[in-house]
Structure 1
Amino acid sequence: MKRLFGLIGFTFLFVLSAVFYSDFNEIVFAIIGSLGLLSVAVGIFLIASKKNKSFGKSLCVFAFAVIYSAGNMIGYSEYINNTVINNYSDKEITASGYICDEIITTDSSCSFVIKTDKINGQPSDAKIQIISYSNVDAEPFEKVNFTAHTYKNNVNSQISHGIFLKAYSYDGFKIEPTGEKATTFYSFAVSIRRAMKNSLDMLLPEDYSTLCRAVLLGEKTALDSSVKDDFSLTGTSFLIVVSGMHLVIITSFVLLLVRKLTKNRFLITAFTTFTVIAFMAVTGFAHSVVRAGVMMIIVSFASSNLRIADSLNNLGFAAIVLTAFNPYAVADIGMLLSFSATTGIILWSRLIERSVLRFFHYKNKRKDGFVGTVVYYIKRLFKICVNMLSVSVSAFLWILPITAVAFNRISPTVILVSLLCEPFVSALLVCSLLCSVLFICPFISFFAYPFGLVSGLCSKAILWLVSTFSQLPFSTIKTHSLYWFVWIGVSVLLAIGGLFVINRKFYVKISVSVSISVLVIGASLNVLLTADNGEMKIYNVGNGVFATVNCPDSCSVISCGGNRASADDVTADISERYSDIEYMIIPNQNNKYSSLERFAVTKFDLNNILVYDNDIEKQNLLNAFDGNSRQTFGGNSHFTLNLSDTVTDEVICVDNTMFQFIKGKNMTVLFVPTDADLSNLPEKYRNPDCLLIDKVPENFDLISCNTVIFSGLEKQFKKNYDSIKEISPTVISTSERNITVNLNGG
């Protein structure tokens, strides 16, 4: 079998992704099981009948991979993930363990991961992410004893590395360093990473050093939020996420130097392997880097033995390495994008390049004379540009469906921006590597300054390009609408149909026209149908209220409280459609309405923060809390916020209570906080369509409404159910799910 590892590896990725992202859906398991059994049956029949033994063997291998990967995911989930979650989630624990990576610090917080050896006195191997809003007196790889209230971790990128729990410093967290440190190969790599980061910080201005750290080491936390948004809007976030592209550039540069010193292919292989492993360790063994590293090591060993490695087989083997013992690796969407882009480059880039060169009748034979030489090199440059274009286009087309589904947006400018930025990124990678390493070497540190200068200039060029393109009207297109998925489905069907058509030139013209027509018509209808959309979304956040008003072009938060464990889910849901928040309203400083503010502040650009508090001293403190502009006010205030052309939020502050009356075209919602007295509310606001509460207010009999929405825990809902029923016959709760109210459609 020519591509055994390729078949097994890609089957692993497909099955594990289907199971994980369907949330272990029974129907998906039934389809996968049926597919495995059918493949076994057909494979055995073909082998026994000797009609097509090779294909029969492939089907049997495919069936084995399907069954193994599905069983592996079930076993890992049941005996590793669920064991940790069931035993320790949402509980206070006392544990000991080692900080197993670098402590990441920002202006307002720090985070690190502890790998435990004991929890509550019992041996236990678990990884817990700690998020602290104060300094922690501990060092990386130091053993610590700690007490914490743990929650289930819902961040997929962390779950993919086995970090299933998280804890916060303000939930009774206590930590006691022991002074004992673990010394490993990885701890040495982290020390080098920290030294390189310090070198870049000392050599370059902050804006440039943070970009160099992101591109070289994959550390995005220090980047300004506006810079992150620019990369996100242009679809070039892969430039600031350490990936296979970065590893290839670094390794190619090292090999260029090594080949100047020796031609021995075994020494070259040894240097390649060392460089790959060192870079993987320094960048934290990111899945996309490990994928590229495994492929590169295989190619290097094959080259040293005068063999040619099959790219798809290598890619499949890398998938096996990453997922065979950690099926949750597919939770890292970056890894899936890496595999998808690489597959596209392997399968399509050469075909696209040949097609473009054939279209331009490309021939490049060197002719005598100055003019002939100039033309020759211009044509060579043209071929290099076509090669870069074909790589970018093939990668973009293969990651398009994943990007559209996972992030609900695509960036049409990504190909052009990446083509313009890649030369600067390549130079930045090499120069920032050299300057960060040379600067920590005694006696020769002065050699770092020229490379630091080039790194700064490249950073400036990249930031300018990305910022310029991000401001274009169609730098990003939202893909959460139905028309987008219809277009993808039609395009896929047209592409499959092309495999069975004889006259492909004519078919390509027709299929491209049909595809573009479906996209344009769908987008136009979507604009017409959603122009007046406005909805209110109340999230399941446990004890508290987190509610947003979502319009086509803006999002506003009318309360941001709830359990901190729900912060990741809420912010992830909002960020699928919005990168900034127009208004954030804090009805009062009670945790039920404000506890998740700090998460929103770090995740989004907040244009207006309104805080109601009668305490003047607190107002002054809030105004200088974290650099975000807050408008604090107290007393009996009354004003109206225009959340969109069709939705308003009328704020009525009476007797230390803030009421909010949200009004759309066809629906009104009254938000009443805890301990409110409805007798203080003006009579004209007492007849909303919906009433949002988290506790039965005083004088609730004064309210007349069609629906009551209760935001809180299930036990609170049951306790208050009889009283709530007296307000309205229709009562719904967020204790099990998020609730959406269409403000303009009834």
Structure 2
Amino acid sequence: MKRPLVLVGFCYLLTLAAAVYFGANISILLACVAILGFIVAMFEPKLRATGIFPIAFLTISVAFGSFYGFHKTVMEPVQALAGKDVVVEGTVCELPAKAYGRFYYVTEVNSISGKKVEHPFKIRFSAHNALNVEPYSNVEGKVHLFLPNGGEGYSSRSYYASKGIPLFAFLYEYEGVKVSPPTRKPPYYYALRLRSALLKSVRSILPPDEAGLINGVLFGDTAGLPQQVTDDFRTIGISHILSVSGLHMTTMAQLILMLLLFLKVPKRVASVIACAGVVCFMAVTCFVPSVTRSGIMCLLYLGGMVVSRRPDSLNSLGIAVLLISLGNPYAAADVGLLLSFAATLGLVLYSGKTAAFLNVKLDRIPKISPLVRGVNGILATTVWAVLFTLPIIIFAFGRVSLAAPAANLLELVPSTLMMNFSAIAAVMNLLSPKSFLAMPFALAAGLLAKFMLSCAYWLAQLPFASVSASGGFILLWLAGTILLLASAMLMKQSRRLYRNVALLSAILLFTGVLSHQVFLRDVTRLAVLDVGSTESVVLTRNGRAAVFGCGGFSSGPIKSYLQSEGVTRLDCLQPLTLSDEESKNAAELIRAFFPRRVLIQSDGLIDGFLQKELPNAAEVSTFHLTARLHLWDNTEVDAQWSGKACTARISTGGVSVLICPGDNLSELPPQWLDADVVVTNSMLLQMELLNPVCCVLSMDQEDLSKAGKSLNGKNTVITGGAGNIVFEIQENRTVKLRRE
């Protein structure tokens, strides 16, 4: 066997990905099945001859078994603490982060309620006020422990398990918090201090938006990045640029090596120094799995230069993913690692061949040869990275960015140049603050960042820049494309056959998008978005949309849903409360979608965010207690203000939907209580007055468990971090319910 490490590494990672999806209990059964496969392969001469099947089955069995053992011995005992109030003492092991008005601290727990922990574990606790801590400070305080959202499978819980964080917590600050300075300062302490200094260095020499993007791209720190930018990058399929991975690691390694060789440092010595630089960059970016994968590959490549040997890229990839997977069986729950692995695999297998083919066909004019070859390289990289990561994106995010190919072509080179210029500027400014030497590099990086921000914004505004894959046709298109490609590979015909496959795939995608829109013609879709313990309902019909409620930590989920439905302008927007969060989200939606009408309770006009953005709406309608509006040709909306929140009743296609942000039903008109569907974020008082066909609880799992009540006989469904709830309402009162 030519590459055994490729077989073992790839099988191990992909098996762990399946184990994350199926869960621990099914994994142990699959481990037993794989052992039987190994035994059969060992006794069957034809299967044993190459060694591929016995090694593959054994690897699969070990991977499933290790996942089961890790979950049962490491994860479950810690997760059993969820729901308890305890006093923890631990060591802050990452830089503090701020998001949604709270401060977050990753802490390694050393003792619980005075009892030393036999096997220390990490928690991420939040606090309203910032604590005076630094990396490796000791913290002691009372917390409430709880599990991240989701269960088995690719959820928030599994994602944080990949980072070694099985539990969340919130701090009881009124109980008092004891903070003491670090008693030890390992090498990682200095890496974190360097990361903090570099982040501040970038922010000190560039405007906030450009600095936020550069820190996100260069260090993976998106805390200072506006939510709008994050949403735009996700919509057009380039959010991988904000996740530090192979592109970033390769760029940094090449930059270090190039600078050393420029300074006439011998090649072997330069390679050793570059290895040290790679390790430092891995530490500064917090050893996230995607960085660790690319870092190991870079170290193998540079190590080959030291001993005058050229490492095999596929073997290097296999070794990297195997080492990561052995260290943490939940590593495969990090979608960033899977995307990084898939993209690298596509580049290693096909990118170089495709670029060479394009060079033969197109590189015929010597004067523009470097330009043509550069464009061909970008084309080859973009195509194969997009194709190989597409299945993971569909299954992980449930959506496909049709703008991704164009976005990658436009953003890839600027992002690489921006990383180089900004890294030099950040280091120079750190060594000599506000030195004129750093300014040219900072200026170049800032201009490139501004171009990337503008490009992402305009591409995200295109209709169907991103489409939902939950409708089913995207999965059929993906399966059809894979089948066509497999058939072409088996037939081993000319390259023209592959071009025909690409053309047929594009036709299938276009036909699917078009037929999906035809199928939804004259169908009203009412989506209860998964935005936490608050409401946001989006009504769409024939490409038009209205939003009722803008709750949630950010407007991102609402924007993403609207963009996936091809909506570029809203017909109506109505906030349901006067909370600061909802007002901010409403203002961002007004700025992004220019609604034809904004319906708002009169007291909401005092909010500064809304005042600034309301001129972008064609019409602003205010009301004091009640309001009514007509949408399209089949929908009416009634609103009633209760003093704290606005209850809305939507009638469409003969079906009535009641949206209740409040908790009291006594003040509502009697006919409203006969609603077919009720959407609420709380356990309503006088719930017995309602008898809906379906009740949607728009709340996360933690708040649902705190409520401690059930809605027997109410046909209850819960968003709870599991996805949006969508009703498809036809004119004959036929309703289809689905989760996206």
Q: What TM-score results when the alignment is normalised by the length of structure 2?
A: 0.83
1:548 corresponds to:
537
Amino acid at match of 1:469: L
CA distance in 2, matches of 1:12, 1:531: 46
Q: Deviations over 1:420-453 (max 9, x none)?
A: 3333323322221122111222599332222222
Match 1:119 to one of 109, 112, 117: 112
Preserved contact between residue 148 and residue 173 of structure 1 (Cα < 8 Å): no
Q: What letter corresponds to residue 281 of structure 2 in structure 1?
A: F
| 2:302 alignment partner AA | S
CA distance in structure 2 between the partners assigned to 1:479 and 1:558 by the alignment: 25
Q: Cα–Cα, structure 1 residues 270 and 651, in superposed 2: closer, same or farther, change >3 Å? A: same
The yes-or-no answer on 1:661 pairing with 2:649 is yes
2:152 aligns to what? none
Tell me the residue number matched to 1:336: 338
Change (3 A) 1:646 1:316: farther
Q: Over the residues paired in the alignment, what is the CA RMSD in angstroms?
A: 4.0
1:367 matched residue in structure 2: none
Corresponding letter in the other structure for 1:483: F
Structural mapping, 1:405-416, within 5 Å: 405-416=395-406
**C-alpha offsets along residues 44-92 of structure 1, whole Å, 9 cap, x if unaligned?**
422xxxx57551x2222212210111011111112212221112x1221
SS of equivalent residue, structure 1 residue 147: strand
Equivalent residues of 2:466, 2:563 under 8 A apart? no
| Distance (Å, rounded) in 1 between the aligned partners of 2:705 and 2:178 | 36
3-state SS in 1 of match to 2:537: strand
Alignment CA distance shift 1:671-1:573 (3 Å): closer
Superposed displacement of residue 23, structure 1: 4.1
- What is the CA–CA distance in structure 1 between the aligned matches of 2:645 and 2:211, rounded to whole Å? 47
The within-5 A match list for 1:71-220 is 71-87=65-81, 89-105=82-98, 108-124=101-117, 125-154=120-149, 155=156, 156-169=158-171, 174-220=176-222
Name the CA distance, whole Å, in 2 between partners of 1:715 and 1:167: 14
For residue 153 of structure 1, give the secondary structure of its aligned residue in structure 2.
Answer: coil
Q: Kindly, what percent of the aligned residue pairs are identical? A: 23
Cα deviation, residue 152, structure 1 = 0.8
Task: Give the match for residue 525 of structure 1.
Answer: 515
What is the one-letter code of the residue matched to 1:165? L
Going from structure 1 to structure 2, the CA distance change for 1:352 and 1:642 (only over 3 Å counts) comes to farther
Partner of 2:628: 640
Match of 2:351 in 1: 349
Q: What is aligned with 1:397?
A: 387
1:176 is paired with a residue of what secondary structure? strand
Q: CA deviation at 1:644?
A: 7.1
**Cα distance in 2, alignment partners of residues 90 and 257 from structure 1:** 53
User: Structure 1, residues 572-612: CA drift from partner, whole Å, max 9, x if none?
Assistant: 799567689975644688xxxx9x96997899889899887
Equivalent position of 1:476 in the other structure? 466
In the TM superposition, residue 507 of structure 1 has moved relative to its aligned partner by 3.6
**Alignment partner, residue 440 of structure 1:** 430
C-alpha distance in 2 between matches for 1:310 and 1:461:
37
Spell out the pairing of 1:416-427 with structure 2 (5 A cutoff): 416-427=406-417
Mapping for residues 215-614 of structure 1, pairs under 5 Å? 215-262=217-264, 264-360=266-362, 362=363, 375-442=365-432, 445-505=435-495, 507-508=497-498, 510-536=500-526, 546=535, 548-551=537-540, 554=545, 556=547, 558=549, 583=573, 585-586=575-576
Q: Which residue identity is paired with 1:105?
A: K
Aligned CA distance change for structure 1 residues 441 and 639 (closer, same or farther; 3 Å): same
Q: Which residue of 2 aligns with 1:732?
A: 715
Q: What amino acid is aligned across from residue 417 of structure 2 in structure 1?
A: A
- Give the C-alpha shift of residue 553 in structure 1: 5.9
| Residue among 55, 70, 81 paired with 2:64 | 70
Q: Match for residue 607 of structure 2?
A: 623
CA contact 1:586–1:610 (8 Å) conserved in 2: no
Counterpart secondary structure, 1:150: strand
Deviation at 1:520, TM superposition (A): 2.5
Tell whether the 8 Å contact from 1:668 to 1:743 is kept in structure 2 after alignment: no
User: Which digits, 9 at most, give the CA deviation of each residue in 1:124-181, with x for residues without a partner?
Assistant: 3221212333332322321111211122123354331111222335786753212335
Say whether the 8 Å CA contact 2:271–2:302 is kept in structure 1: yes
Contact kept, 8 Å, 2:110 with 2:116, in 1: the verdict is yes
- 1:626-682 CA deviation, whole Å, 9 max, x = no partner? 99979999996111356777554321246878543222213112345766354x443
Q: What SS does the aligned partner of 1:445 have?
A: coil
The answer to whether the 8 Å contact 2:289/2:324 transfers is yes
Deviation at 1:414, TM superposition (A): 2.8
What SS does the corresponding residue of 1:447 show, helix, strand or coil? coil
* TM-score, normalised with respect to structure 1: 0.82
Counterpart AA for 1:460? K
User: Gaps (5+ residues) in structure 2?
Assistant: 150-155, 736-740
Distance (Å, rounded) in 2 between the aligned partners of 1:200 and 1:719: 51
Distance in 2 between residues matched to 1:270 and 1:699, nearest whole Å: 69
Quickly say closer, same or farther: Cα 1:494–1:639, change in 2 above 3 A. Answer: same
Say if 1:641 and 1:53 are closer, same or farther in 2 by CA, change over 3 A: same
SS of 2:109's partner is strand
Distance of 1:416 and 1:633 partners within structure 2: 40
Name the CA shift for 1:44/1:312 in 2 (closer, same or farther; >3 Å). farther
| In 2: Cα distance, 1:58 partner to 1:656 partner | 66
Paired residue for 1:725?
none
Indicate if the aligned counterparts of 2:696 and 2:719 stay in contact, CA closer than 8 A: no
Q: Does the 8 Å CA contact 1:291/1:319 hold for their aligned counterparts? A: yes
Letter of the aligned partner of 2:137 in structure 1?
E
Query: How far apart in 2 are the matches of 1:208 and 1:169?
Result: 34
Distance in 2 between residues matched to 1:407 and 1:711, nearest whole Å: 20
Are residues 454 and 506 of structure 1, via their aligned partners in 2, closer, same or farther at CA, if it must alter by over 3 Å?
A: closer
Distance 1:271 1:651, change over 3 A: same
Alpha carbons of structure 1 residues 517 and 254: separation in structure 2 relative to 1, 3 Å: closer
